Structure 1
């Protein structure tokens, strides 16, 4: 009743060796490095107007982890200067808290203890800096 299919399906993955495939671990590395890079950018933005030892240490640790995840390639960093239209610190801390939370989820999925600890510490630091009312009222 039905005629057999004579051509290969376009959905078949067999025979597509020329298409680059990444493992789940590689995809998680890329995703985690992206979250950490975004967190580093916000950390640098917070460091711009008022440098602090805590933010300097956090930026250095983030840079180390990003470099490790990217196979030895350090992230590109920009020096941030204070501008009159810069967002308030509490907004930046809220953004950093959210990014650290995303990094924590990916690090837990990837079973990367070092990054999970770093992300949890950054979440705590940004919660304390912004005040719990700002972070929980969302």
Structure 2
């Protein structure tokens, strides 16, 4: 059976009330600002995985991708440079998992970039998806051939 609350509502008189005529003390962001934050987050995560991949499998492609990702994150964050992961000596057995993670992150970044019509970021994300898909296919060929 229903029993009414015996304590006053925590929402009564709340500063965060959304009723007409009341003001709020928390900032509001536009949809575009929210998408910028999401896109910067996905690209930052992709940059971290790219940096991790550069340790065991250094290549000019990964170096260039890392530089372009850092540039996009800096742009989206209003000039603040992203934190970079130190290249590590990841085991060869982890490469497939890293490429899979990078492919997923690039896909998420592509969805957000397309949603906010950010052509540069969308192209970069699509290129990274293709590169990581190719790396996964190559690793699978090597594992089945061996």
Fold shared, TM-score > 0.5 on shorter chain = yes
- Alignment match, 1:20: 27
Q: Unaligned regions of 5+ residues in structure 1, if any?
A: 1-6
2:113 aligned with 1:127, yes or no?
no
Measured in 2, the distance between the counterparts of 1:41 and 1:17 equals: 37
- How high is the TM-score relative to the length of structure 2? 0.79
- Alignment match, 1:56: 63
| Structure with bigger gyration radius | 2
Measured in 2, the distance between the counterparts of 1:43 and 1:104 equals: 16
Alignment partner of 2:111 out of 101, 105, 111: 105
Measured in 2, the distance between the counterparts of 1:39 and 1:23 equals: 24
Output the aligned Cα RMSD.
2.3
Change (3 A) 1:83 1:59: closer
Q: For this pair of structures, how many residues does the alignment match?
A: 127
Listed as ranges, the matches of 1:29-108 within 5 Å are 29-83=36-90, 88-108=94-114
Does the CA-based 8 Å contact 2:32-2:116 persist in structure 1?
yes
Shift in Å, 1:49: 1.8
- How high is the TM-score relative to the length of structure 1? 0.83
> Relative contact order, CA 8 A, sep 6+: which one is greater?
1
Structure 1 stretches of 4+ with a deviation exceeding 6 A read: none
Change (3 A) 1:14 1:32: farther
Shift in Å, 1:48: 1.2
